[in-house]
Amino acid sequence: MSAPTTIVPGLFGADPLEYGRAVADVAAAGAELLHLDVMDGVFVPDISFGLKAVASIRKSFAGRLDAHLQVARPEAYVEGLAGAGVDLVTVHVEGTPHIGRVLRELERSGVAAGLALNPGTPLSAVEEVAHLVEQVVVMAVNPGTSDFLPYTVDKIRRLRTELDARGLDHIRIAADGGVTAERAAELRAAGADRLVVASALFRDPAGVAAALRSLATAAAGTR
């Protein structure tokens, strides 16, 4: 099964002084899923989107919210994020020694789960629990940086092949980091059906809708 391409705005790429406008812009442009990087200053240097901010964004965005936990001890965030109304929580396997327990907590909270892998983390890290999640996010940059790593394209390709071989073709693969219109087709062809776009999307606030259409067009028809 080949899922349709979804362009996922990453709100952290917008001007912090314009977050409200950015949410309104992507909602008006028809974005189905909004990606929120929840950072704790430990797992990555930045700090962003606490529970109060997530709850406010929830009130302003009718689509689905994906909280990407770039944090140490993600288990400490599950209850609060569920209460804030997120639809999907994506957890880095590197952030906890108890990834199975975190996924179980998400299931009990009624929140869909995702797994995220740093560029240097092997695919085997998600092998035992991949069947429990909606998506696997392959980081195309090292968290906290913007340097696109071309070797992650092959990693996406291998992941798609492995999931399909196991009958897990319904699991979405997201490419996160350094995604541009120029790279969209290559990432889509490799098997990424969700493309998380941050700074490349919000570089021109007045052109958000056009940028979304351009990215979708670039990725279309390649798988």
Which residues are tagged catalytic? 37, 176
Q: How does pLDDT run across 77-109, given as a tens digit for each residue?
A: 999 999 999 999 999 999 999 999 999 999 999
Give the pLDDT confidence of 153-175 residue by residue, as tens digits.
999 999 999 999 999 999 999 99
Token pair for 101: 């327990």
Q: How many CB atoms lie within 10 A of CB 124?
A: 8
- The pLDDT score that the predictor gives to residue 217 is 82
Does the pLDDT value for residue 56 go beyond 80?
A: yes
Cα separation, 174 vs 155, whole angstroms: 12
| pLDDT confidence of residue 212 | 81
Specify the pLDDT at position 2.
66
| Nearest-angstrom CA–CA distance, 213 and 208 | 9
DSSP 127-194: TTTGGG-SEEEEESS-TT-----THHHHHHHHHHHHHHHTT-TTSEEEEESS--HHHHHHHHHHT--E
The predicted model scores a pTM of: 0.93
pLDDT at 36: 98
